[in-house]
């Protein structure tokens, strides 16, 4: 009985021509992550705008993936969801900022009125 080497491994299957990852899905996910990161700046319009852009790119990426048979459906869905979340949080951040500025304006007006009343008896 002689030694026989094991058979050579099968070559890796080549990806199908249409299975490339959709570029809109990738860019949408990058923009969505940037939108989440910009929430820390406390300037709500930046994540709002980036979130809307990411959601649009995710939506367009998903429709392209269905039409062309490309990969990246999960990336496009993540861009869509994260983009919507970032836009909503950016909108809430803007509302909070407006509330804080409105309250501080009211407080300043009240202090000014009190000081004027005390100065003019």
For 91-114, the pLDDT digits (tens) are 999 898 888 888 777 777 777 777
pLDDT value at 14 more than 70: no
pLDDT tens per residue across span 23-56: 999 999 999 999 999 988 877 789 999 999 999 9
Distance CA 16, CA 114 (A): 76
Model pLDDT, residue 92: 92
DSSP string for 63-105: HHHHHHT-B-HHHHHHHHHHHHHHHHHHHHHHHHHHHHHHHHH
Model pLDDT, residue 17: 52
pLDDT value at 3 more than 70: yes
**How high does pLDDT run on average in the chain?**
86
Residue keyed to tokens 């000014």: 112
Residue keyed to tokens 């409105």: 102
- Chain mean position to CA 25: 12
> Based on the number of CB atoms within 10 Å of its own CB, is 81 exposed (0-12), middle (13-18) or buried (19 or more)?
middle
Count the Cβ atoms, other than its own, within 10 Å of residue 19. 12
Assigned token pair, 15: 């990806």
> Where does the pLDDT of residue 89 fall: very low under 50, low under 70, confident under 90, or very high at 90 and above?
very high
Q: Widest CA span of the chain, in angstroms?
A: 118
> Over pLDDT 70: what percentage of the chain?
92
């Amino acid at each position: 009985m002689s030694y026989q080497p094991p058979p050579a491994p099968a070559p890796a299957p080549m990806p199908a021509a249409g299975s490339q990852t959709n570029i809109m899905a990738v860019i949408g996910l990058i923009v969505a992550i940037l939108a989440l990161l910009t929430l820390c700046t406390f300037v709500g319009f930046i994540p709002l705008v980036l979130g809307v852009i990411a959601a649009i790119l995710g939506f367009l990426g998903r429709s392209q993936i269905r039409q062309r048979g490309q990969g990246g459906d999960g990336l496009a869905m993540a861009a869509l969801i994260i983009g919507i979340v970032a836009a909503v949080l950016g909108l809430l951040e803007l509302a909070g900022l407006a509330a804080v500025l409105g309250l501080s304006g009211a407080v300043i007006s009240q202090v000014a009125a009190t000081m004027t009343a005390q100065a003019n008896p």
